[in-house]
Amino acid sequence: MQRIIPIESPFFLVPAELGSPADWATVFGNNNPVALEIGCGIGDFIAKTAIDNPGTNFIAIDYYNKGCLKTCSRLERHGITNVRVVRAEARLFIAERIPKGSLAAVYINCPDPWPKKRHRKRRLVNPQFVRFIREYLTPGGEFHFATDFDDYGEDVAAFMPQIPGYANMLAPDLFRHELEGYHLSKYMQKFMAEGKRIYFIHYRTTMEG
């Protein structure tokens, strides 16, 4: 059981204090597009991405309190004001707090691969989840997935073309091991230093589906 450290940061939000769905324009104080990172870790990816995209508001969620704390500290240290951090389980948070058709982008980097075959049904990114998250993306909204686990990357790459309402932005490739302009988290850099390959998958929603 994780030890919960109180987070005293202006960038940290408590889900129960938000509406259902939340009014993100009021939360951020503007009507900029909203993007979501699921599993922000220690916040290095979202911090760099938010700096590159000052006209986008980012919601960074993670189930682990320590990661949320480190992410908030990173944002404060670098003066990054267009990110809010939430400790929550992804599916429930999205269903309760995100208006449908509102997300400009979703980023999922190196989620738990559940490597044992009997546990793979626990993986976050599966056909059901991809259909679910599409309802929350805007037309033309971007879906980014990255993993260092070969089987996970190949599995997602294989089923994504079968999901209606998405266009492959890497076509004719189903995935790439490098993606220009996409920031590498420290976890990704660690895996690559160990000789592992990252699988990058990038789709965009269409009017179909």
**Residue 164: helix, strand or coil by DSSP?**
coil
Separation of alpha carbons 141 and 113, rounded Å: 25
Choose, from 23, 52, 112, 173, the residue flagged as catalytic: 112
Separation of alpha carbons 83 and 89, rounded Å: 18
Is 112 one of the annotated active-site residues of the chain?
A: yes
**Residue 177: helix, strand or coil by DSSP?**
coil
Q: Which residues contact 168 (CB under 8 A, 6 or more apart)?
A: 160, 161, 174, 202, 203
Check the CA dihedral 109-131-106-9 and report its sign: negative
DSSP one-letter string for 73-142? HHHHHHT--SEEEEE--HHHHHHHHS-TT-EEEEEEES-----SGGGGGG-S-SHHHHHHHHTTEEEEEE
Separation of alpha carbons 177 and 179, rounded Å: 7
The residue with tokens 């939000």 is 13
Q: Which residues are catalytic?
A: 112
